[in-house]
Amino acid sequence: MAFPGAEKLLDFSGPFDVPMLDQIIAAFYTPGADPTMRSEAEKVMTSLQEHELMWTRADAILEQSQNPNTKFFALQVLDGVIKYRWNALPDDQREGIKNFISNLIIKLSTDATSFRRDRAFINKINNVLVQILKHDWPQRWGSFVPDLVGAAKQSESLCENCMNILRLLSEEVFDFSRGELTQAKITELKNALNTDFPIIHELCEFVLQHSQRPELIQQTLQTLHAFLSWIPLGYIFESTLLDTLLKLSPVPEFRNVALQCLGEIGGLAVEQKYDAHFVKLYVTVITQLQQILPRSVKIAEAYANGGDDEQAYIQNLAIFLTQFFKHHVTLLEHSAENQAHLLIGLEYLLNISYTDEPEVFKVCLDYWHVLVCDLYQSDGDAPGGSEFSFAPAGAGGSRRVLYAGSMSQLRLLMVSRMAKPEEVLIVEDENGNIVRETLKDNDVLVQYKIMRETLIYLAHLDHKDTETQMLEKLSNQLNGKEYSWNVLNTLCWAIGSISGSMAEDQENRFLVTAIRDLLNLCEITRGKDHKAVIASNIMYVVGQYPRFLRLHWKFLKTVVNKLFEFMHETHPGVQDMACDTFLKIAIKCKRKFVIMQVGEHEPFVDELLRGIGDTIRDLEPHQIHTFYEAVGHMIASEVNPAKREEYVQRLMEPPNATWNQIMAQAKTQGGECLKPQEVIKNLGNILKTNTSACISLGQPFQNQMSAIYADVLNVYKLYSELISASIAEGGPYASRTSLVKAMRTVKREVLRLVETFVERCEDPHLVAQQLVPPMMDPVLGDYARNVPDARDAEVLSLYAAIINKVEGAMIDEVPKIFEAVFECTLQMITVNFEDYPDHRLKFFALLRAITNHCFRALFTLDPSQLKLVVDSIVWAFRHTERNIAETGLNLLLEMTKFFQVSEFCNQFHQSFYLSLVQEIFAVMTDGFHKPGFKLHALILQNLFTIAESDQLSAPLWDAAKLGPAAYPNNAAFVKEHVANLLTTSFPNMSAAEAAVLVQGMFDYKTDLTAFKNHLRDFLVQTKQFKSSDNSAMFAEEQAARQAAERARVEAIPGMLPPSQIDMGDD
């Protein structure tokens, strides 16, 4: 053994060998130590940590050890006992730990030298003390705060540490308690802090007025900062505190934390009697600010060249201004003097907004969004008000005048810093080259959304100024005054983002100029990169204004021809954007292309189909597919069936010609000629082209589908046989060769094409009669016969789509589907949670389709098969992969509801009720499945309701063993069963606690909100949700708030992106 005598450490009858533990821990933490020594050390440390008496050695270790890591180890052990087993310890032991920790803190903090030296260690001990307080204060340790304040007066370093402890306590109670403590405990702690606050306040004031020690003043300000959000307001406004803070705020060493405190105060929403204090606070800070940072300073440059302290100051200043304005800006709008101060503050904030630091910009942007929304709503321009009115300007009008100058500067800021929209694929890389974007940046997309809304509000506030600024910037691009990629990009993104916010005639005027200028710019500019940037901007802008294009055929035709031109431009990203924009425009303006326009001699679609080969000549296969989908939308909008049929035939001519040629060859020369990679690739692309056309055409695709369906199935069969032969010959590894992979791609494309047609087809009868029978063996049989690696998940989603489409008509086929896919797929996905991710999702989606549409088919399964189904659902919701778990939970909820109203209610629940309750509790309390909380709650609510309902008449307990009268009813049995389940799963939960919890679950089962709150408290009590992110448990409430806000915003013209507006037929 590497550490002889280490086993004695686990002998708790004699004294503890601290030097031995030091040696073991040193071996673990020393960099570059011998790996075997290290793993031995880890084993010893783990066995010590897991021993339930180890905490009794903590005092000896903390007093005698010479190694800081050993001391941290001891504190970790103590922390664990306090968090999870505190209430199980006898009183005298709890008192012993409390006294030991308190004395240790006093000993280490009283001496200034050791306090500075052991800072990290003392912080850890402070945390341990706060953990104790969460259990014992105020009930069993009512004198804690007076004791602490008394101790603080002994020395300045001890006072500094007491401030630190108070700050930690405030943060634990007010900031981090949600989901960590029960609602009742949080209230109790908040009340206790409020009661003891007078003496804490006295101590803080005393320090700030009398101490000469900068570190102590700094720590006191930090503690105050933590308190300010909740303390009674009198302590802020009716004491000297505010004056003291304003006195400290210009002092360089305190100004950062003082400004943070003032920002916290500025963000308090309180009653009117304190208004004068807020005005004084703001005016004083703004006056001081002009001394510290004169108005002439370019803040963005100062930030870029400043040190950490200066940068933090600018960041805190942004927070102060935005917090104050959010809550109290109206106080500054009334007197001329205050208005002047307000405008200076806005000027500073605009200046800060140019800072090239994303976090600072986010803070500013967040406020600008709030302000413009507020101005828009307070004025006559909100929905219903008219833009021009002869009524005298009310308060709203005068507010608009007051802010007009600032808002004009804000428009300039927004236009020059506009974020990149999702549709733009062409970006500048770090070397200054123009390239195709490879990754989407989510932060940028979120920022774009906020900036877009802000600009739309700004446009509504003053359409003229918005238009003038944008067109002026654009003409400066044309005359070369400020031409640069970045300026042009942000400008065009801004122009595109305000689509829909203008009145129609104004939008027409604005866009005629803007698009004409951009097209001219494209003509006069030389150089591939420049052309690519301008092309991407033209495409983005025209894609955002479908309403304009629908009204101006000449422009629409020019734009589409320009897109066709860009489809030959091989610069990375240009062709992709051209095809994407073409699709976008085709969806919105589809009818314009199939009707005869004034001044034309044929519909545009005729011209397009004639030259289709030429137009798509330089496109990659995936771009051709997008192109086909776009033309499909046009053709689908043709109302004359004969004409539509002719267009479909002409559209599909190029792919059909190649397809027919390959099929004719296969008929004469046999399957061998389908083996070359080139042929396989061709077939795959033709199938994809068909799928793309089918997506947009829908039902009109039927004749094309009928024409190729038999051949398509033959290709599928042939490749299935070739793949099986390869695997029979080369073993399972053959399924990974490039040839087999290519053939499987074709099979997948066949399945996708059929699935797309099933989903888009409007005639379920056609699907059931003509599509399903011929593919039973080639598709289902092939799936069952194949080795796992050669089974396509798309088979599962195809059958799910068929069942969703034809519903009950498939009920006779369900047993065959079960036989072919069920057990063999389960064997693939129940080995672990990782392999075959596609099969997992699609398998459960198929099961959901069967449950919802062919539920009676489940009754024909024998009990062992039904058990397999239920086990597989349990397996699904055990996944940590969120969408699989959610599919499983939804499926379980639907299935139990169907069984509850069927004649098999008793058998189903007798077989599965108890195991399902146990499984749901298991995933709900393991900490890995928090996003599923809403569904866990619904399922438990449903299961508890059924236990008390009349539908379930058979006993859920084992009547053969316990007798039929063992319990008065099912509810009584379930309560006892669940309480036992909880006490065995959570040893720290007493039987009485468990009984109360279970009774609560039954009491609240009719009120979902109360039921969920009760479950959340239960999760806190199990201590399973310690110290991790619990926001997922509250996701549903969050979503409801967001939906209401979305509905409000979407009523404003321009807020819904054009792609989401249903424009109907032209």
DSSP 563-621: HHHHTT--STTHHHHHHHHHHHHHHHHGGGGTSPPTT-SS-HHHHHHHTHHHHTTT--H
Q: How confident is the model at residue 99 (pLDDT cuts 50, 70, 90)?
A: very high
Alpha-helix runs per DSSP H in 698-763: 702-730, 738-760
pLDDT tens for each residue of 661-670: 999 999 888 8
SS3 content of the chain, % helix, strand, coil (to 5): 75, 0, 25
Average pLDDT, integer, range 169-194:
81
721 and 674 Cβ atoms separated by less than 8 Å: no
Question: pLDDT-derived band of residue 383, with 50, 70 and 90 as boundaries?
Answer: very low
Task: Identify how many contiguous H helices and E strands the chain contains and give both numbers.
Answer: 51, 2
Over range 1026-1040, report the average pLDDT.
57
Q: CA 631, CA 594: separation in Å to the nearest integer?
A: 10
Is residue 386 pLDDT above 60, yes or no? no
Burial of 168 (0-12, 13-18, 19+ CB in 10 A): buried
Distance CA 378, CA 329 (A): 14
- More confident call, 1025 vs 972: 972
Give yes or no for residue 836 having a pLDDT over 70. Answer: yes
Given a cut of 60, whether residue 522 has pLDDT beyond it is yes
Cα–Cα distance, 162 to 109 (Å, whole number): 9
Rounded to whole angstroms, the Cα distance separating 527 from 516 reads 20
Average pLDDT, stretch 1052-1056? 82
State residue 650's pLDDT score: 95
Write down the pLDDT at residue 1066: 53
Name the pTM for this structure. Answer: 0.76
- What's the length of the chain? 1066
- The string of pLDDT tens digits covering residues 773-817 is 898 888 988 998 888 888 899 999 999 999 999 988 888 888 889
At residue 978 the predicted structure's pLDDT band, cuts being 50, 70 and 90, is very high
Cβ count within 10 A of residue 140: 13
- Of the candidates 1029, 1034, 994, which has an alpha carbon nearest to the alpha carbon of residue 180? 1029
Q: Among 434-438, 690-694, 719-723, 992-996, which stretch is predicted with the lowest mean pLDDT?
A: 434-438
Share of the chain above pLDDT 70, in %: 95
Q: Specify burial of residue 601 (Cβ count, 10 A radius: 0-12, 13-18, 19+).
A: exposed
Contact 192, 139 (CB under 8 A): no
CA-CA distances (angstroms) from residue 833 to 16, 614, 891?
A: 45, 49, 18
Question: What is the crossing angle of helices 882-900 and 863-877, to 10°?
Answer: 140
Output 187-194 pairs: Cβ under 8 A, ≥24 positions apart: 188/138, 188/139, 189/134, 189/137, 189/138, 190/230, 192/137, 192/138, 193/169, 193/230, 194/230, 194/231, 194/232
pLDDT band per the 50, 70, 90 thresholds, residue 385: very low
Contact 249, 286 (CB under 8 A): no
Strand partners, 428: 434
Supply the pLDDT for residue 439.
65
Q: To 5 degrees, how large is the angle CA 128–CA 130–CA 131? A: 65
Comparing 314-318, 629-633, 730-734, which segment has the lowest mean pLDDT?
Answer: 730-734
Give the DSSP per-residue string, 897-938: HHHHTSTTHHHHHHHHHHHHHHHHHHHHHSSS-GGGHHHHHH
Whether the predicted pLDDT of 1065 surpasses 70: no
pLDDT for the residue numbered 269: 87
How far apart CA 246 and CA 262 sit, in angstroms, is: 8
Query: Residue 754: is its pLDDT beyond 60?
Result: yes
DSSP 459-504: HHH-HHHHHHHHHHHHHHHHTTSS--HHHHHHHHHHHHHTTTSS-H
Which pLDDT value is given to residue 179? 67
Q: Is the distance from CB of 589 to CB of 550 less than 8 angstroms?
A: yes
The rounded Cα 994 to chain-centroid distance in angstroms is 35
User: Cα angle at 419 between 415 and 424, to 5 degrees?
Assistant: 110
**Is the per-residue pLDDT at 645 higher than 90?**
yes
pLDDT at 674 exceeding the cut of 80: yes
**Radius of gyration for the alpha carbons in the chain, expressed in angstroms and rounded:** 36
pLDDT tens string 401-436: 999 999 999 999 999 999 988 877 767 766 667 677
The count of C-alpha atoms lying within 13 angstroms of the C-alpha of 20, restricted to the half-sphere facing its C-beta, is: 16
In this prediction, residue 182 has a pLDDT band, given cuts at 50, 70 and 90, of: confident
Report residue 679's pLDDT band, with 50, 70 and 90 as the boundaries: very high
DSSP 968: S
814-836 per-residue burial string, b: 16 or more CB within 10 A, e: under 16: beebbebbbebbbebbeeeeeeb
The pLDDT assigned to 786 comes to 85
The angle formed by the CA atoms of residues 273, 275 and 281, to the nearest 5 degrees, is: 135
**Under DSSP, is residue 428 helix (H, G, I), strand (E, B) or coil?**
strand
d(CA 20, CA 4): 9
Write the Ramachandran bin of 862: left for phi over 0, alpha for psi from -120 to 50, otherwise beta: beta
How many other C-beta atoms lie within 10 A of the C-beta of residue 89? 15
Q: Which two tokens stand for residue 618?
A: 């330089």
Q: How far apart are alpha carbons 960 and 375 in whole angstroms? A: 74
Tell me what the pLDDT averaged over the chain comes to: 88
Would the pLDDT of 536 be above 60?
yes
Rounded CA-CA distance 494/973 in Å is: 65
Q: How far is CA 368 from CA 311, 319, 326, in A?
A: 21, 13, 10
| Whole-angstrom distance, CA of residue 486 vs CA of residue 484 | 5
Q: Are 625 and 689 in contact (CB under 8 A)?
A: yes
pLDDT in tens, 614-644: 999 999 999 999 999 999 999 999 999 999 9
Residue 731 CA to residue 753 CA, distance in Å, equals 30
Lowest mean pLDDT among 48-62, 302-316, 668-682, 1019-1033: 1019-1033
For residue 113, the tally of other CB atoms under 10 A from its CB is 8
Token readout for 754 is: 């059929």
pLDDT above 90 coverage of the chain, percent: 51
Distance CA 1015, CA 126 (A): 31
What pLDDT band is residue 392 in, cutting at 50, 70 and 90? very low
Q: What mean pLDDT is predicted for residues 571-584?
A: 90
φ and ψ at residue 181, rounded to 5 degrees? -125, 155
* Residue 826 to residue 823: CA distance in whole angstroms: 5
Q: For residues 1048 and 532, is the Cβ–Cβ distance under 8 A?
A: no
Task: Quote the DSSP letter at residue 736.
Answer: G
Can you give the pLDDT at residue 434?
Answer: 67
